Structure 1
């Protein structure tokens, strides 16, 4: 019923998955980890991926009837019930079906931790009258990228973080050419990062503006300019946003991102 697969497997290019690829884009990244669990149904109607310590991600084809989906998900839950899976991320009904089956087998409870909106940008709407320009971060920017990342994590998760904890991440991201800064008069005032490139999409994350520079349109301008660069390369920008964060969702919608669906992030207790 299920078999392992490798990155760039045909299932990741199947017509069924491509229809919902924006919503499930993170599956591409997880599939690249050597030690990740990577399973698919033999008919390419389901994909399950999980990297150590993180939520599993699950896609089930919309071509299946609800009962077919639920039966397949129950069989999957039985297959992976002995794996150390802390939660599931999937389209809400699919996530619920897996969580119920998995937790019933394990004697656990579950709760919805977060609802994410998936977006893609097919045409950019650049904000007008925003001072500054987009700059690809260089080695000299590593300390400020680390500081921005620490504050981003603090805002997103409510944890107090030190800049030093993110220096290695900043160094790697900058050297890979994946960090961009919006700069005004030589001062970085906003940040956006490329998280991952797949065959058809580029996922953006870590969009952050320090509190002292907010409400000036800097984040919108940075994301818009980065999206235009990616579209010019023939790739579609995608991202996920917390459904409970109206400010970030507004920024993305303003510059041309269109919602492609929701992902439920469910944790197992």
Structure 2
């Protein structure tokens, strides 16, 4: 038999689940950076930990930090148990992200219990890189770290990125994310007669850093800026001590998937994000 414990103590969750998460640091990159942020004083996360009776450690986890979707990592049957436990404690969760099979199982259990809906918000692919392949064609311009004077632009571009990727937690969250990136030197711009592309990167946790967001405004696309800047940022992260870089792509965007593969990124897993809705005729 398996059991699920729910808590709000990030430090205790890390004590119990940290080694399990670190064992697969690319697959668990989002969870690792989320838990690290919460340990340093985040937005008030909810942590679900599944253990098998008599087992030596975790068998699955799910973490929810509002206003984002929950993130699950577990075998599909265990993901269903995590979903039902979180539904009892946090029924206001608005969606889930995770490996495609486990996210589908979580969503299925959630909607089966609530009678609500689960709609695919995005089908993604997780990639990893350990050595950068230079872009096949150079782009005009140069990479630079963003500074305080770029804040307004980066917030606007972060909101635009979230809208395009169907994440959109809101401008206030975008401001917080940008402020943290600027404070830590994790926001980059490609300049070609002014800013042309924005790439952010997560803190490095368990020797893995995640590249996100990657945003080029529509009028400046198809000029190689994103490829050049992702390559530059990935190399900078590796030079600073990370062993691997991770990033997510939208499977509906074959151009982006080709661009990142050409830079040396290799697929790890398919990931699906779901949005939850109320039962028909409710709310």
For this structure pair, what is the TM-score category when the shorter chain's length is used for normalisation?
0.7 to 0.9
CA-CA distance at 1:257 after TM superposition: 1.1
Aligned to 2:209: 202
Supply the distance in 1 between the matched residues of 2:160 and 2:87 (Cα, whole angstroms).
37
Supply the distance in 2 between the matched residues of 1:156 and 1:48 (Cα, whole angstroms).
22
| Secondary structure of 2:210 counterpart | strand
Matched, 1:211 2:225: no
Aligned to 2:146: 137
Matched, 1:224 2:228: no
CA-CA distance at 1:11 after TM superposition: 2.4
Supply the distance in 2 between the matched residues of 1:166 and 1:40 (Cα, whole angstroms).
29
Aligned to 1:56: 70
Supply the distance in 2 between the matched residues of 1:22 and 1:124 (Cα, whole angstroms).
16
Task: Compute the TM-score of the two structures, normalised by the length of structure 1.
Answer: 0.82
Distance 1:255 1:176, change over 3 A: same
Aligned to 2:161: 152
Query: What's the Cα RMSD here?
Result: 2.8
Match of 2:183 among 157, 169, 175: 175
Q: Is the 8 A contact 1:191 1:208 kept in 2?
A: yes
| Secondary structure of 1:104 counterpart | helix
Q: How does 1:1-269 map to 2 (within 5 A)?
A: 1-3=3-5, 4=7, 6-7=10-11, 8-14=14-20, 17-18=21-22, 20-31=24-35, 32=38, 33=42, 35-42=44-51, 43-60=57-74, 69-70=76-77, 72-82=78-88, 83=90, 84-127=92-135, 128-157=137-166, 170-184=178-192, 187-235=194-242, 236-269=244-277
Q: Is the 8 A contact 1:124 1:255 kept in 2?
A: yes
Q: Is the 8 A contact 1:23 1:119 kept in 2?
A: no
CA-CA distance at 1:188 after TM superposition: 1.9
Distance 1:167 1:123, change over 3 A: same
How far does the alpha carbon of each residue in 1:20-67 deviate from its partner, in whole angstroms, 9 at most, with x for none? 432332112332236211121233111111112332111115xxxxxx
| Secondary structure of 1:9 counterpart | helix
Task: Compute the TM-score of the two structures, normalised by the length of structure 2.
Answer: 0.78
Structure 1 residue runs of 5 or longer lacking an equivalent are 62-68
Distance 1:80 1:139, change over 3 A: closer
Q: Which moved more, 1:172-181 or 1:117-126?
A: 172-181
Supply the distance in 2 between the matched residues of 1:25 and 1:171 (Cα, whole angstroms).
21
**Count of residues in correspondence between the two structures:** 256
Structure 2 residue runs of 5 or longer lacking an equivalent are 52-56, 278-283
How far does the alpha carbon of each residue in 1:4-31 deviate from its partner, in whole angstroms, 9 at most, with x for none? 46354352323xx456432332112332
Q: Which moved more, 1:173-182 or 1:256-265?
A: 173-182
CA-CA distance at 1:166 after TM superposition: 5.9
Distance 1:106 1:13, change over 3 A: same
Supply the distance in 1 between the matched residues of 2:80 and 2:198 (Cα, whole angstroms).
42
